[in-house]
Amino acid sequence: MPRDPDTPIHCGPRHVAIIMDGNGRWAQARGRPRLYGHHAGARRVREVVEACPGLGVKYLTIFAFLTENWKRTQVEVAGLMSLFRRYIIKETRALAERGVRVRFIGDRLRLDAKLIDLMDQLEEHTKTNDSVHLTIALNYGGRDEVARATRRLAQDVAAGKLAPLDVDEQTLPRYLDTHVLPDPDLVIRTSGEARISNFLLWQSAYSEYEFIDTLWPDFTAAELARLCHSFGARDRRYGAVRA
């Protein structure tokens, strides 16, 4: 659901997307296993979610597990999947009480049945909430998402539901995992890396980016507020020139 550039918005970002990077390095710097950092990073999510309403952030999308992360060690992957299950069980009540609506994006087919069931339950339990829309990208990759969307679009064309000449840049977004969400205004990546790592490739075409050195477990609500304030000073022209 891309935003119309002519629609006025408040000066801060309405939709913030975050690549939560640096958990493993944060743990290793403390002589602890990488999973220790992932647990610390999961705790940081709550603070950031709670800060969103006061900053005017209606939509928050966080990158939890990339499709390429399956290449990590079996121990780390298994630990992450356990962490996701525990996070959902532990945070469901708090998220619901704060009016947070949770959605998951990504390919669920490779995830285990227990985790999928918990994801479904959390989405159902929070579906009427509207204070913050939290989207968790789990087993998600931007190229994979576009490929899956294109496959569904092609099936509709083959079935006669969509004419080939009607396919344009407004059509594909309706098939993306994020079709009910506005495009992100601001994308933040922590840990000092300056790449987007296959995250929201289509949706972030006109997003502003912030690459910061802070490791994700050290990221605070105050830093989010600083970045949102900085965003408000940017001149977003969407390819046009101000008169």
By annotation, the residues acting in catalysis are 21, 69
Closest alpha carbon to 191 in 173, 218, 165, 171: 218
Under 8 Å between Cβ of 149 and 172:
yes
Closest alpha carbon to 111 in 81, 135, 141: 81
* Cα–Cα distance for residue pair 31/149, rounded to 1 Å: 42
Side chain identity at residue 74, one-letter code = Q
**What is the β-pairing status of strands 15-19 and 59-66?**
parallel
Side chain identity at residue 238, one-letter code = Y
DSSP string, 50-87: HHHHHHT--EEEEEEEEGGGGGS-HHHHHHHHHHHHHH
Q: Give, rounded to a whole angstrom, the gap between the first and last alpha carbons of the chain.
A: 27
179-195 burial code (b ≥16 CB/10 A, e <16):
eebbbbbbbbbbbeeee
